[in-house]
Amino acid sequence: MHNVIIAGTINSVNAIPKGMELLLQGKSALDAVEETIKIVEDNPNDWSVGSGGLPNLLGEVELDASIMDGKTLKTGAVAGLKKYKNPISIARQVMEQTPHALLVGEGADQFASVLCFEETELLSENASDIHQDFLSGKSLVNKPYDAEETMKKKECYFKIFQRLVQEKKMMEWYTKYAKENHGTVNIIAKDMNGDICCGVSTSGLSFKLPGRTGDSPIIGAGNYADNRYGAAACIGVGEIAIRLSLARIAVYEMSKGKTAEEAAILAIETIKDLGEDAGFLTILVMDKEGHTVSAANFEFSIFHQERMHFWIADSLNPIPTKRECLYVDTTTEKEGEGYHR
Rounded Cα–Cα distance for residues 289 and 259 (Å): 10
* Site size toward ligand ASP, by CB under 6 A: 13
Out of 184, 202, 282, 330, pick the active-site residue: 184
Q: Cα separation of 220 and 155, whole Å?
A: 37
CA 163 from centroid of its chain's CA atoms: 28
> Is the separation of the CB atoms in 312 and 301 below 8 Å?
no
Of 65-73, 150-158, 201-209, 302-310, the window that binds ligand ASP (rule: CB under 6 A) is: 201-209
Nearer to ligand ASP, 4 or 188 (CB): 188
Is 72 part of the annotated catalytic residue set? no
Question: SS3 for 159?
Answer: helix
Q: Which of 155, 272, 196 is nearest to 2 (CA)?
A: 196
Cα 66 to Cα 18: distance, rounded to the nearest angstrom: 19
Residue 75, strand partner residues: 68
DSSP assignments along 70-108, one per residue:
TTTTEEEEEEEE-S-S-HHHHHHHHHHHSS-SEEEHHHH
Q: Is 235 in the site for ligand ASP (CB under 6 A)?
A: yes
Contact present, 251 and 229 (Cβ < 8 Å): yes
Q: Which is nearer to ligand ASP, 23 or 281 (CB)?
A: 281
Is 41 a binding residue for ligand ASP by CB under 6 A? The answer is: no
Asked if 230 interacts with ligand ASP (CB under 6 A), we say no
In the complex, what is the shortest distance from the CB of residue 314 to ligand ASP, in angstroms, rounded to a whole number? 25
- Minimum distance between the CB of residue 289 and ligand ASP, rounded to whole angstroms? 27
Q: What is the rounded radius of gyration, in angstroms, for the C-alpha atoms of the chain?
A: 19
User: Does residue 216 interact with ligand ASP by CB under 6 A?
Assistant: yes
Residue of 230, 238, 279, 320 that binds ligand ASP (CB under 6 A): 238
Instruction: List % helix, strand, coil for the chain (3-state, nearest 5).
Output: 35, 20, 45
Query: In the bound complex, what is the minimum distance in angstroms from residue 213's beta carbon to ligand ASP?
Result: 7
Q: Minimum CB separation from ligand ASP for residue 202, in Å?
A: 5
- Check binding of 85 to ligand ASP (CB under 6 A): no
With binding defined as CB under 6 A, does residue 187 bind ligand ASP? no
Which of 182, 258, 272, 288 contacts ligand ASP by CB under 6 A? 182
| Binding window for ligand ASP (CB under 6 A); candidates: 33-41, 93-101, 214-222, 297-305 | 214-222
Assess 292 for contact with ligand ASP (CB under 6 A). Answer: no
Nearest distance, CB of residue 221 and ligand ASP, angstroms: 9
User: Of 19, 55, 214, 279, which one interacts with ligand ASP (CB under 6 A)?
Assistant: 214
Report the nearest approach of ligand ASP to the CB of residue 69 (Å): 21
Pairwise CA distance, residues 120 & 117, whole Å: 9
Residue 87 sits in the site that holds ligand ASP (CB under 6 A) = no
**Nearest of 30, 338, 75 to residue 222 by alpha carbon:** 75
Shortest spacing between CB 205 and ligand ASP, in angstroms: 5
DSSP letters for 263-324: HHHHHHHGGGGG-S----EEEEEEETT--EEEEES-SEETTTTEE-EEEEEESS--S-EEEE
Pick the closer one to ligand ASP by CB: 52 or 204.
204
Closer of 205 and 232 to ligand ASP (Cβ): 205
Instruction: Give contact residues for ligand ASP (rule: CB under 6 A).
Output: 182-184, 202, 204-205, 214-216, 222, 235-236, 238
Catalytic amino acids? Answer: 184
